[in-house]
Amino acid sequence: MRVVIVEDQVLLREGLVRLFEDHEHTVVAALGDATGVLAAVAGHAPDLVVLDIRMPPSFTDEGARAAREVKDAHPEVGVLVLSQHVEARYATGLVALGGFGYLLKDRVLNVGEFLAAAGRVAAGGSALDPHVVGTLLAAQGTADPVAGLSARERDVLALMAEGLNNTAIARRLVVSERTVEGHVRHLLIKLGLAEVDDGHRRVLAVLAHLRHAALPPPRPSGPSG
């Protein structure tokens, strides 16, 4: 896997470089700000861009804007956004493009899970931090479309949003794959979503449903001419 890293904190940037290289991946560029991301992607043809969401000069949304620019110009490149805090508004607009992940920086500490998530994103899949998913759901308030889900179904939904398939979810929850299949079938029925086999499409379906539920109702049109 060929990787571009964009992180203003030197220690974290160097740590990410070492982490990928120690696991036989190639870091083709390591940048301290977002200004050169597009040039690096065009020049090095990476499989994955890993970037912080807040970077100089304003430390607000430079990373999010760079992520969008990369996906618009090079939709085949995976983009994995890292953040210290949950800022779910950036996730919903990008995840529908595929090959996108949003993880809290704490997740880097679990090397196995982090590299697995990076690999899924580079391959065109999804990797959303459960806390990001939780924020998306909480934002629905009383209109929360998952209010009717059981606690276990919410657990399965969060792991689906990480991009895990049924086999991986079963391992994570230490249950049988058949049990997971049942939970997935029931939660999709409760959400009013058609069941599909592909893990990434399941994530897109769930997030599309949540975005739709968050939209205000259309205003009635006035009388014509």
Compute φ and ψ for 185, nearest 5 degrees.
-60, -45
Q: Which token pair is 52?
A: 């912080």
Contact criterion met (CB below 8 Å) for 137 and 210: yes
**pLDDT tens track for 92-142:** 667 667 788 888 888 788 899 899 999 999 998 888 877 776 665 555 554
SS3 34: helix
CA distance 78 to 99: 4
Distances (CA, A) of 55 to 32, 61, 177: 8, 7, 41
Domains delineated in the chain: 1-128 (3.40.50.2300), 129-215 (1.10.10.10)
- pTM for the model stands at 0.72
**pLDDT tens track for 175-204:** 999 999 999 888 888 776 655 555 556 666
